[in-house]
Structure 1
Amino acid sequence: MWYASIPSQTVVWVVNRQDPVLNTPTVTKLSANGRIIIVDGQNATEWSSPMHTINVTGASAAWLHDNDNFIVSSYWSFSPESVAWQNFDYPTATLLPGMKLGVDIKKDITRNITSWRSRSDLSLGTYTFKLILSRLLEFFLFQGPTIIYASGPYNGAVLTGVPDLRSQDFTFIVVSSRDETYYSYSIRDPSLLSRFVVDATVGLV
């Protein structure tokens, strides 16, 4: 997926970054049991979304929101309770407004962002930015197994290593509860385009 309005193609999400489809053409479908599938020119399934944790009926639908969240929902309702799968649960190299970076214990999902291998190769790179759950809530940038940056622990107001994480244009939030712990941000001006990226070239966020 990429921005429609930016002349230079700017990819923000890839579903099958480790398994590119070689047998073209391809088609993306919504299966009868509500799973997104990619089939190749021989009608062989190249990729499918995970099995759902909720019941999905034949009335299910898939919908790409304008915020880049691609949702499979039961009963066409698109309420949070009806969402069976969404790409926001599986970020790649980019965190967009509304995405969560962290751990959802209830869904058993860990949301990290990992760099592309290079600007022309969108497979997994060597840099990963993620939350480490411990006594203190803190985010780390890894190069392979090595920590190269730490945000500092969250003190209830800010990440102590990033005290200037404030802006008139953005709202930053950190949530820690029994079910999930995550960082997210939103934009006050909807005309502003923003993305939080792990860069493969220089190893920065």
Structure 2
Amino acid sequence: MDSVKWFIRVLLIFFLPHFSISADTITPDHFIQDNNDEVIVSSGNIFALGFFSPGSSRNRYVGIWYYQIPVKTVVWVANRDNPINDTSGILRIDGRGNLALFQGNQTLPVWSTNISIAGAGNSFAQILDSGNLVLLQNDTGKEVLWQSFAYPTNTRLSYMKIGYNFRTGLNQSYTSWKSPDDPGVGNFSFRMNPGVSPQMVLYKGSVPVWRSGTWTGKMWSGIPEIAQNFLFNDSFVNTDDELSFSSDTINASLMTRYVTNETGVSQRILWNNASQSWIISYTTPIELCDIYGHCGRNGYCNPYLGDFECTCFPGFEPKSP
């Protein structure tokens, strides 16, 4: 009997440290490995962080996706331009306190949060129910050293911003994947243009494709659809310290995302529980007349003109008949 008690006590001593680790954190003593299919999951089982391969690719990336949705939907990618070509990846807190991704036994990271941290070994990473991956100080658990929301890829979630922090110089913009099989930085970007009348602009490379129009106080003048929607709380900030826009869900149970995709459109997408599928709420641009400068500097666009939607302002003539 005593030997049985001793054996149970040994088992408890061995396993207790593992049981005490939160399932939503990476600490200096707890990392995740690709070859073990390990993930960390937010406390409400909303988002997961782990390794994945997009589409038909065999390359491996660290990403964040919806945990309970049957269709894997990735909303953020760490090493988007530096894939790992096998399953030897390890995501851990490194010797400087940064969250870092390593391939096999290599000493240089494939990707890292790469910030200066006072007190090595005094930090941990946590995935939140908002989809934000944060690096925190271990002593307080409150000071955010780094967060994925500040470095988006192609997706904007609730409580994420698009715009500028003029104090830090941070520019939060969204860039499409190269393709469904490659999350690398693509051709299209969605960002805030500062100036007298700030606007959100979709670019292909350095060429503007679409613009939101100016902020009216309730909506963007070029997106009338958002004025008719009572599911979101839109916020526009324009101060000396910050220029930003965010659109947050009023109902926390509503799953929504804004995606700038590789085809050159930006979409608001909602999850439909009944059909177990994503539903597109609106898309921009929708038609040819939505494309920035489609008819040239001295022309205007009218989709109802017929075969040719462009016409000149009075006093101007087409360059070619």
Normalising by structure 2, what TM-score?
0.59
Give CA-to-partner distance per residue, 1:120-141, whole Å, 9 cap, x none. Answer: 2111111111001111111100
1:17 aligned partner: 80
Q: Give the number of the structure whose alpha-carbon radius of gyration is greater.
A: 2
Q: Which residue of 2 aligns with 1:144?
A: 205
Q: Is the counterpart of residue 203 in structure 1 residue 265 in structure 2?
A: yes
Please, which moves more after superposition, 90-99 or 23-32?
A: 23-32
Residues 136 and 146 of structure 2 are in contact (CA less than 8 Å); yes or no, is this contact kept in structure 1? yes
Secondary structure in 2 aligned to 1:190?
coil
Q: How many angstroms apart in 2 are the aligned matches of 1:97 and 1:174? A: 14
Deviation at 1:156, TM superposition (A): 3.2
Equivalent pairs, count: 202
- The residue aligned with 2:161 is 100
Deviation at 1:49, TM superposition (A): 1.0
1: CA distance, partners of 2:150 / 2:130: 14
CA-to-aligned-CA distance 1:52-88 (integer Å, 9 cap, x gap) = 4x64553322111011111111135343xx1110000
Question: C-alpha root-mean-square deviation of aligned residues, in Å?
Answer: 1.8
CA distance in 1, matches of 2:241, 2:138: 25
Matched, 1:30 2:30: no
1:125 aligns with 2:125: no
* Structure 2 match to 1:110: 171
**What is the rounded CA distance, in whole Å, between the counterparts of 1:55 and 1:155 in structure 2?**
44
Q: Does 1:8 align with 2:71?
A: yes
The 1-side partners of 2:102 and 2:197 are apart by 44
Q: SS at the partner of 1:164?
A: helix
Q: Secondary structure at the match of 2:224?
A: coil
1:169 equivalent in structure 2: 231
- Tell me the distance in 2 between the aligned counterparts of 1:56 and 1:192: 39
For the residue of structure 1 that corresponds to 2:263, the secondary structure is coil
Q: Distance in 2 between matches of 1:107 and 1:78?
A: 22
Counterpart in the other structure of 2:133: 70
Deviation at 1:174, TM superposition (A): 0.9
Aligned partner (choices 102, 107, 110) of residue 46 of structure 1? 110
Q: Among the aligned pairs, what percent are the same residue?
A: 29
Question: Which amino acid is 1:145 matched to?
Answer: S
| Unmatched segments (≥5 aa) in structure 2 | 1-63, 268-321
Secondary structure of the residue aligned to 1:9 is coil
State the TM-score, normalized to the length of structure 1: 0.91
SS at match of 1:201: coil
Q: Which has the higher contact order (CA 8 A, sep 6+)?
A: 1
CA shift, 1:201, in A, is 2.5
Any stretches of 5+ residues in structure 1 without a counterpart? none
Question: Matched residues in 2 for 1:56 and 1:119: separation?
Answer: 40
Contact 1:61 1:76 in 2 (8 A): no
Amino acid at match of 1:120: D
Instruction: In structure 1, give the amino acid aligned to 2:237.
Output: V
Bigger fraction of residues in helix:
2
